A and B are shown apart, each in its own frame.
Chain A
């Protein structure tokens, strides 16, 4: 539709510009504009998304934490260790804390460390010595001493952590 086909304006206000580009021509120009605007939106939103994701997806920096002296860890029973270690949390220097369960299969020669975080929804499991199993208080997930799932909702065994012994001190990598 040409501009001149529009209902006339109030003469006091003025009149439509007869020489203006027809709407069709202008809309064709608008396609170019739309493409540019779309490109602009992508140019802004992609870096914005990258900015928002930030360093979320980077694997956490592994750290060795001290679990205790060999002599302090039980050779037969499961020992609960609440560790705390200095570390970086985003831009902040903090004391990171967590729970690890340690046991030995060979009378204290070597140790196995399990992350105490339930594989279901992340609660900390409790070791029940009398029943010889870990129980998650949140949704009643049960694990064997070795961390295998006995029953309940957990999808995976408890995470086993790398362990090393140096100068009679046991460390686990978290």
Chain B
């Protein structure tokens, strides 16, 4: 065994880096703190999406004529198909929740501050890509829900001044939703986005390792900040336990509530109320309050402002202060956004019943 290991090491030189990776010192205040497992859990949920996604590709048929039936087959006929699609379907929501919580934790701990700006920027891009995953994946079953949400979604992109019409057509691969749209969304969902996300995660984790954990903000944590534990097994085991908990939860939800599949896409239905996945609902609801010419305010200006201010955050908030209770501006801004999202999500849900 030792000789085999030595043989491999002489040829790959990997034992040093691997040992360094596993022995990485993690501050004690981080260990067994749920707030610090959120990043790892997001990574685990991404891994679950990759595994179930690869499995689904074995049966999914990316054609307007076959997509619906193949998803129906996966969900109702294929052995354990309900489980694989269920984990993928609910796992997507879990990933959005986890990445959001992870981001909020980072925000309230001011972990985006110097020298961790690039880590924050890659995180914001990752959030954006995760939402793009949700948007492109939604269409793939080619059912009513996906078809109409995509029709509305691509139409929203069309409200960009001057070039909106081009953007909509390029997104759809033509004037209308059809085969070209489905293939585009499929290619983006299974090739482009996974590659981009994997690369960004690598940069994100490398940055984390390079800078280490952001300084603690509570007195209790500060008292422990000079005590360290090796990454393996302490942190790894904690994250794995949390990850298995997540998997168990996804299996349970998939079992009691099959991943939904509505009627096949019907371009002529006028009583179907299009609605996006729950994490886009507040945005969909906001559209109602900005009629006609004001629409680009909500479709373009506000998302650009929010996304732009997230990207600029570490360069605007450059103070040394890290405790959220001493930083009323950033704290109140975040609470404002959270309240807006919750209220409009609630209003939309109340309307759709």
Contact = CB atoms under 8 A, between A and B. Distances in A.
Contacts of A82: 268
Contacts of B288: 139-140, 153
A151 B295 CA distance: 14
B170 A53 contact: yes
A126 B268 CA distance: 11
B268 A99 contact: yes
Contacts of B179: 89-92, 94
Contact of B65 (A92, A152, A154): A92
B169 interface: yes
B99 interface: no
B82 to A, nearest CB: 29
Contacts of B169: 56-57
Interface of A: 52-60, 82, 89-92, 94, 96-99, 116, 120-126, 137-140, 149, 151-155
B126 interface: no
Contact of A57 (B155, B170, B268, B272): B170
B166 A57 contact: yes
A173 to B, nearest CB: 14
Contacts of B155: 120-122
Nearest to A82: B268
Interface of B: 63-65, 148, 151-152, 155-156, 166, 169-170, 172-176, 178-180, 183, 266-274, 287-288, 290-293, 295
A153 B292 CA distance: 4
A82 B267 CA distance: 10
Nearest to B299: A121
Contact of A137 (B173, B271, B295): B271
Nearest to A94: B64
14 contacts: A55-B174, A56-B169, A60-B175, A60-B176, A89-B179, A90-B173, A92-B65, A97-B267, A98-B268, A121-B287, A122-B155, A123-B152, A126-B270, A155-B293
Nearest to B275: A138
B271 A152 contact: no
B175 A54 contact: no
A58 B266 CA distance: 24
Shortest 7 CB-CB contacts between residues of A and residues of B? A124-B270, A153-B291, A89-B178, A121-B155, A90-B180, A60-B175, A121-B152
A116 B269 CA distance: 10
A59 B152 CA distance: 20
A91 to B, nearest CB: 7
